[in-house]
């Protein structure tokens, strides 16, 4: 049998043929007594060697050790034990005491049920993926690509939700604490932010300078709870502005509103030119800038 193991170690196909040829039990008759030795531990080593080429040599060595231990036990029963019989017996006991053999002997119902489920899933995947181009490796590669793509999509969806919630929270907090200032104070705050290079905050302050100016003119009510789009809609219904300036000022507020939404709420990068364009809109709304 040891020679058969040596020969079969060359390929997985030979190992499978040897494993399938091994009987379920070995029967030994000695001294008028009959002994039955299960072969499943030896077959298990052959199966691992067949499936995993990386550890094939190790599994083959352990299979040979197992056969040596069985031969030593047989020799002991026949009264022709070799000189190292005690050592062989110790090696056999050490092999049988390993955790994998312990589990094989004492599998619970839950372990058997779990193994059955795993086998069913594995068989189903083999059948499905084996049809993809007739190659299982290609099927498994496509499966893992799909899993990775799903993970990326889920991560992207969570990130977008997190950004949306963060923006909504910031909008709520900022809109809730807009201080009451004159349009001149808002313009001063906008220029300070621009000098620091914070054009995003400068455009935000400039927008509220325009709103404060229109409120001074009576075109908008002094209501800080409205959204930018609601202010724009309210200006369209205003009857206070002169007809000759109404269209230009509505257009200026529209540009201020879209700029605020893009840069302040949309987190687009603001530049010095964007700030200059906003100052021009403030001039149109009636803010006389120095």
Backbone angles phi, psi at 19, to 5 degrees: -65, -40
For the entire predicted model, the pTM comes to 0.41
| C-alpha torsion sign, points 121, 127, 129, 135 | positive
Q: How many residues does the chain have?
A: 290
Cα 177 → chain centroid: 38
CB 206 within 8 A of CB 256: yes
CA distance 216 to 164: 34
| C-alpha torsion sign, points 272, 224, 252, 210 | negative
pLDDT reported for residue 81: 47
- List the chain domain ranges: 2-106, 178-285
Q: Which residues pair with 25 in a beta bridge?
A: 38
pLDDT reported for residue 123: 74
The 8-class DSSP code of residue 93 comes to H
Backbone angles phi, psi at 34, to 5 degrees: -115, 125
pLDDT reported for residue 58: 74
pLDDT reported for residue 207: 93
pLDDT reported for residue 188: 92
Write down the number of H helices and E strands in the chain. 13, 2
pLDDT along the chain (290 residues), means of 10: 65 73 70 68 73 71 73 62 57 66 61 82 68 58 78 87 66 55 91 94 93 89 83 85 84 92 90 93 86
**SS3 string of 258-277?**
HHHHHHHHCCCCCCHHHHHH
CA distance 13 to 159: 50
């Amino acid at each position: 049998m040891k020679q058969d193991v040596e020969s079969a170690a060359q390929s997985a196909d030979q190992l499978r043929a040897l494993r399938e040829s091994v009987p379920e039990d070995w029967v030994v008759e000695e001294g008028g007594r009959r002994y039955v030795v299960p072969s499943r531990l030896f077959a298990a080593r052959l199966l691992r060697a067949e499936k995993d080429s990386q550890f094939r040599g190790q599994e083959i060595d352990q299979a040979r050790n197992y056969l040596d231990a069985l031969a030593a036990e047989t020799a002991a029963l026949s009264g022709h034990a070799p000189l190292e019989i005690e050592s062989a017996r110790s090696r056999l006991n050490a092999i049988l005491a390993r955790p994998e053999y312990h589990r094989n002997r004492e599998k619970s119902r839950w372990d058997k049920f779990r193994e059955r489920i795993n086998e069913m899933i594995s068989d189903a995947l083999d059948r499905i993926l084996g049809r993809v181009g007739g190659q299982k490796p290609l099927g498994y590669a496509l499966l893992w690509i799909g899993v990775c793509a799903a993970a990326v999509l889920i991560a992207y969806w969570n990130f977008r939700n997190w950004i949306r919630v963060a923006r909504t929270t910031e909008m709520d907090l900022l809109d809730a604490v807009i201080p009451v200032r004159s349009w001149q104070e808002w313009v001063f705050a906008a220029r300070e932010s621009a000098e620091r290079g914070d054009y995003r905050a400068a455009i935000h302050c400039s927008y509220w300078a325009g709103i404060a100016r229109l409120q001074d003119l009576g075109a908008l009510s002094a209501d800080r709870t409205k959204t930018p789009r609601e202010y724009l809609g309210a200006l369209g219904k205003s009857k206070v502005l002169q007809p000759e300036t109404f269209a230009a000022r509505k257009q200026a507020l529209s540009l201020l509103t879209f700029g605020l939404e893009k840069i302040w709420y949309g987190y687009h990068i603001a530049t010095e030119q964007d700030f200059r364009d906003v100052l021009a809109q403030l001039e149109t709304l009636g803010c006389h800038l120095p």
